[in-house]
A = this chain, B = another copy of it.
Amino acid sequence: MSLPQESARRVRLAVDCMGGDHGPKVTLPACRAFLDAYPAAELILVGRAEALAAAAAWPRCSVVAATEVVEMHDPVELALRRKKDSSMRLAIAQLKPDVGGHAVADACVSAGNTGALMALSRYLLKTIDGIDRPAIAYALPNERDAFTTMLDLGANVDCSAEHLLQFALMGSALAAAVEGRPDPTVGLLNIGEEAIKGSETIKQAAELLRRAASHGLLNFHGNVEGNDIYKGTTDVVVCDGFVGNVVLKASEGLATMLSEFIRQEFTRNAYARFAAFAALPVLRHFKARVDPRRYNGAALLGLRGLVFKSHGSADAFAFEQALHRAYDAARNGLLERVHARIQDTLQALPAAPIAQAPDPDLSFAA
C-alpha cells in the first residue's frame, strides 16, 4: 500500500483510454490537457496500440497495449472471464502491488461500464481488510458552493447497519482527501430528523455511527433528509445503493427537465429570444456553475487501490476532471486514510461485526 518507488510526491495515473462512449477521441485530449496542468503527474495510457500511437511520444507518459475493449453494455461475466486483455483490466492491474508492495500506478481512471469496472477491481485488487463491500461515492454540488459526498450510489442494493458505518468511514476519508474537509461531518439519509424514524437498519446504523463518533472515529451529525444533500447540511451523506442511485438519477432527470423548460421559455417568442440574448452571459455563468462535467468522477471505495469512474458520456473536459479527482485522491493519500479509519474502527468497536455478505449487485449505470 506504499506509494511508487520513484517519489512520494510524484503521482502516476493509469488511464483506460478505450472506455466510455467516445474512447480515445475524448480520453487522449483529456490526458494531454491534464499533463499540461500537472507538471508532477505521470500517465500510463492503456488501450489499443494503434489508437494510442500518437501519445507514445508525449512527455511523462507511457503506453500499455491492450488487445481488447470492454464495451459499455458487455455483461460483467464477459469482462471478468473472457476479455482478459482488456484495457480496463490492464489499467486496474497497474494498481496491484508487486512483492515489494509497490504498485506501478497510484490510481486508475476509466469511463467504461461501471459493473465491469467494479467487478474487475474487486477481483484484481481485493477489498481492504474490514471492508466486504466496496461503495461508489460521488460529489454533488450544494447551496454552499461546495460538494456533498454521497455514497453508496448503486454498488450495494441491500445494506446492513455495518455496511453503512463502513460507507461513513470511507466517505469521510474521501471528503477529507479530495474536498479538503479536515473533519467532514457525516449525515445518515433518513426520512425524518428524529431518531425514531426510518427502518430498523437505519436505526441500528445511527446507533453504530453514534458509537463511532463517541470514539472520535467520525464526525457524525445525525440523520439528514433528502433536501439536506443539496443544502450541504453535512459534508458526507450515507445511504444504501438503491436509494443513492435513485436519488442521483432523479436529480439528473429533474435538472434535465428544468433546463429544457428554461430553453423552451427563452425561445417561446420574439421577445423571449431578445431576452435570451440579453441574458446570455448570465445564463452561461449559471450553466457553468451547475455543469455536472465539473464534478465528474466517482470513487470506488474500499478496494486495495484507487479506482475512479468517469461518466460514460464524458467529453474531454469532463474526463479531465475525473483525472484531477483521482490525482488529488492519490496525492492526499486517500488509500492510506481509508485503511487507517477502518483499522481504527475495528480496534475501537470490535463489537460491531463486519458482516460477510454475498457479492453485490453491480447496478450503477455506465
> B247 to A197, Cβ gap below 8 A?
no
Choose among B192, B229, B268, B279 the residue that contacts A250 (Cβ–Cβ < 8 A): B229
Q: Chain A, 250-294, contact with B by CB distance < 8 Å: what is the 0/1 string? A: 111111111011100110100110111011011101100110000
Interface residue? A189 (CB, 8 A): yes
> A253 to B229, Cβ gap below 8 A?
yes
Q: A142 vs B260: C-alpha distance in the bound complex, in angstroms?
A: 11
Instruction: Please give the distance in Å from A366's CB to the nearest CB on chain B.
Output: 11
> B258 to A255, Cβ gap below 8 A?
yes
Q: A247 vs B279: C-alpha distance in the bound complex, in angstroms?
A: 32
Within 8 A of B (CB), among A225-261: 225-231, 239, 241-243, 245-258, 260-261
Copies of this chain assembled into the complex: 2
> B265 to A225, Cβ gap below 8 A?
no
Q: A282 vs B281: C-alpha distance in the bound complex, in angstroms?
A: 16
> B365 to A260, Cβ gap below 8 A?
no
The residue of chain B having its C-beta at the shortest distance from the C-beta of A280 within the complex is B275
> B158 to A363, Cβ gap below 8 A?
no
> B226 to A251, Cβ gap below 8 A?
yes
By a CB distance below 8 angstroms, the chain B residues around A249 are: 191, 225-227
Instruction: Please give the distance in Å from A228's CB to the nearest CB on chain B.
Output: 7
The residue of chain B having its C-beta at the shortest distance from the C-beta of A199 within the complex is B157
Contacts A246-B191, A247-B247 given; indicate if A272 touches B261 (C-beta within 8 A): no
Interface residue? A183 (CB, 8 A): no
> A275 to B279, Cβ gap below 8 A?
yes
> B262 to A246, Cβ gap below 8 A?
no
> A286 to B257, Cβ gap below 8 A?
no
> A230 to B246, Cβ gap below 8 A?
no
> A289 to B265, Cβ gap below 8 A?
yes
> B268 to A282, Cβ gap below 8 A?
yes
By a CB distance below 8 angstroms, the chain B residues around A247 are: 226, 246-247, 250
Instruction: Please give the distance in Å from A320's CB to the nearest CB on chain B.
Output: 24
> A242 to B278, Cβ gap below 8 A?
no
Q: Chain A, 138-164, contact with B by CB distance < 8 Å: what is the 0/1 string? A: 000111000000000010011000000
Instruction: Please give the distance in Å from A71's CB to the nearest CB on chain B.
Output: 16
By a CB distance below 8 angstroms, the chain B residues around A281 are: 271-272, 275
Instruction: Please give the distance in Å from A113's CB to the nearest CB on chain B.
Output: 12
Q: A301 vs B251: C-alpha distance in the bound complex, in angstroms?
A: 26
Q: A229 vs B246: C-alpha distance in the bound complex, in angstroms?
A: 10
Q: A158 vs B199: C-alpha distance in the bound complex, in angstroms?
A: 7
Within 8 A of B (CB), among A191-232: 191-192, 197-199, 225-231
Instruction: Please give the distance in Å from A250's CB to the nearest CB on chain B.
Output: 4
By a CB distance below 8 angstroms, the chain B residues around A239 are: 246
> B260 to A143, Cβ gap below 8 A?
yes
Q: A1 vs B157: C-alpha distance in the bound complex, in angstroms?
A: 41
Q: A245 vs B364: C-alpha distance in the bound complex, in angstroms?
A: 21
Q: A246 vs B229: C-alpha distance in the bound complex, in angstroms?
A: 10
Given A191-B246, A243-B246, A275-B279, 16 further pairs, Cβ under 8 A: A154-B191, A158-B199, A191-B363, A192-B363, A192-B365, A226-B247, A226-B248, A227-B250, A227-B253, A239-B246, A255-B258, A265-B283, A268-B282, A272-B282, A275-B281, A275-B282
User: What are the 5 closest A-B residue pairs judged by CB atoms, nearest first?
Assistant: A226-B249, A227-B253, A226-B250, A230-B253, A278-B278
6 contacts between A and B (CB under 8 A): A154-B191, A197-B361, A199-B242, A230-B256, A265-B289, A275-B281
